[in-house]
Amino acid sequence: MGDGVAAVTRTCSDSFARAWAKAVTGTSYLPMTQAQLEALLQRLTERLAMALRTEPFDLRVGQQVGAELVQAHIASAEGLGRTIEVIQLRLVRDLGLVGDDVEDRMARLLATVATGYARALRDRTLDEQEAIRRAAMMAQAQAERALRDSEARFRHQATHDPLTDLPNRTLFTERLTAALEQPGRGADRIGVCFLDLDRFKVVNDTLGHQVGDKLLVSVAQRLRRALGEHLVARLGGDEFVILVERTGCTEDAVKVAEAALAAVSEPALVDGHELTVSASIGIVERSVGGTTPMELMRAADSTLHWAKAAGGARWSIFDADRNRRELARYALSAAIPAALDRGEFYLDYQPLTSLRDGRVLGLEALVRWRHPELGVLRPDSFIGLAEETGLIVRLGSWVLAEACREAQAWSAGRPDAPFVSVNLAVRQLHRPGLVQEVRGVLAQTGLPPERLQLEITESTMMSTVEEPVRALRVLNDLGVRVAIDDFGTGYCNLAYLRDLPVTELKVAGEFVAGLRAPADDPRSRTDERILASLVSLAHALDLTVTVEGVETGDQADRLRAIGCDAGQGWHFGRPGPASQALPHPA
Chain segment 357-409, per-residue pLDDT in tens: 999 999 999 999 999 999 999 999 999 999 989 999 999 999 999 999 999 99
Going by C-alpha positions, the residue among 366, 367, 335, 334 that lies closest to residue 350 is 366
Which CATH number is associated with domain 2-130?
1.10.490
**438, 406 Cβ separation under 8 angstroms:** no
State the number of CA atoms in the 13 A half-sphere of 68 facing the CB. Answer: 15
List the chain residues with pLDDT less than 50. 1-8
We find that the CATH architecture of domain 338-580 is Alpha-Beta Barrel (3.20)
CATH 1.10.490 region(s) of the chain? 2-130
- Please state, in angstroms and rounded to a whole number, the distance separating the CA atoms of residues 499 and 476: 13
**CATH code 3.20.20.450 region(s) in the chain:** 338-580
Fold classification of 169-318 (topology level): Alpha-Beta Plaits (3.30.70)
Which pLDDT score is estimated for 8? 42
pLDDT of residue 1: 43
* H-helix or E-strand spanning residue 422: strand 419-423
Residues 369-392 as b or e (16 or more Cβ within 10 Å = b): bebeeeeebebeebbebbbeeebb
Cβ count near 429 (within 10 Å): 21
- The pLDDT value recorded for residue 11 is 62
Q: How much is the pLDDT for 4?
A: 44
Contacts of residue 503, defined as CB under 8 A and 6 or more positions apart, other chains included, come to 453, 476, 481, 482, 483, 543, 544
Angular region, 300: left φ>0, alpha ψ -120 to 50, beta rest: alpha
pLDDT at site 312: 94
Cis status, amide bond into 583, omega within 30 of 0: no
- The Cβ of residue 412 has, within 10 Å, a number of other Cβ atoms equal to 8
The boundaries of every CATH 3.30.70.270 domain in the chain are 169-318
Q: How many residues does the chain have?
A: 586
pTM as predicted: 0.65
